[in-house]
Amino acid sequence: MFRRRSSPPSLHAIQQDLARALALLKEAKRVVVLTGAGISTPSGIPDFRSDMTGLWSFTNPFEVASLWAFRDHPQRFYKWLQPLAADILKARPNPAHLALAEMERRGIIDAIITQNIDGLHQVAGSQRVLEIHGHVREVHCLTCGWEGESPPYLEAFLRSGELPICPQCGGVMKPKVVLFGEALPHDIVVAAQEAALHSDLMLVAGSSLEVMPAADLPALAVRSGSKLIIATLGMTPYDHLADVLLRGDVAQTLPWLAQRL
């Protein structure tokens, strides 16, 4: 989807938007957060869709990150995954993750829905995290169904290029991330939709809102009477629904809000 670029807002406009967002958060009783890749880029994890820098700028996702591509050429998938896995394993939560975890601890946030697979929300201390695209904490075998924790396998792969082999049947194991052509986890998607439906404020942080079904969650929330704050660097297709648009680095805007709630 082509996305227009907006001119940077003035400092005065940013301050006004932050004040409006803060007021909405103080009034809300059921806050649900939706996060995307933009919340993890300050931690050193690249996003997928940014022009010239996103991972899909260099690779056709269907050739390396689809279920059929994994089954046919798992080594190609792991070669593509190698730099991303290295970034994820060494990444630490940034101030945006920590701000959301603090807001949840204080009872301000009910749930975090994330499109990310890096697990940084949990490392930061968030408890109710709905990972609609899966995660890299575990691997599983598509042949026999065996499951196990992924760090030993991914670390061995990063050291020597050794593919994660199932100890039960010898098949090549896949991280528990959702690939193209693979069904999303039904129970997680339903829980995310229910959270959006029952929210009275949805905060979108670092998502371009271009990938379904996550992209439709803000519209679902708004149709149910929820207020909407979108905090991203760029524009999204749902900006027209937002009560407040926060144009800035979420590693700065979210801590600012958390400190004043």
195 and 234 housed in the same domain: yes
Q: Are strands 173-177 and 201-205 parallel, antiparallel or unpaired?
A: unpaired
- What per-residue confidence (pLDDT) applies to 12? 62
Domain count, the chain: 2
Residue given tokens 């996305």 in the structure block: 3
146 and 243 housed in the same domain: no
108 and 230 housed in the same domain: yes
121 and 54 housed in the same domain: no
173 and 129 housed in the same domain: no
Whether residue 3 lies inside any domain: the answer is no
Q: Catalytic: which of 12, 97, 121, 133?
A: 133
56 and 170 housed in the same domain: yes
148 and 29 housed in the same domain: no
pTM for the predicted model, two decimal places: 0.88
120 and 217 housed in the same domain: yes
Residues spanned by the domain of 60: 48-90+136-177
133 is catalytic: yes
164 and 250 housed in the same domain: no
Whether residue 1 lies inside any domain: the answer is no
156 and 243 housed in the same domain: no
Whether residue 256 lies inside any domain: the answer is yes
Q: Which of 52-61, 80-89, 163-172 has the lowest mean pLDDT?
A: 52-61
253 and 197 housed in the same domain: yes
pLDDT, one tens digit per residue, over 187-205 is 999 999 999 999 999 999 9
Characterise 171 by phi-psi region: left (phi > 0), alpha (psi -120 to 50), beta (else): beta
Name, in order, each residue with C-beta under 8 angstroms of 23's C-beta and a sequence gap of 6 or more. Answer: none
Tell me how far the alpha carbon of residue 129 is from its chain's centroid.
10
Three-state DSSP state, 46:
coil
Q: What is the CATH number of the domain that holds 154?
A: 3.30.1600.10
- Looking at 145, 177, 209, the residue that finishes a domain is 177
Which residues are bridge partners to 147 per DSSP?
140
pLDDT, one tens digit per residue, over 79-111 is 888 888 889 889 999 999 999 999 999 999 999
Whether residue 145 lies inside any domain: the answer is yes
Whether residue 86 lies inside any domain: the answer is yes
Take residue 146 and report the two structure tokens written for it.
């065996």
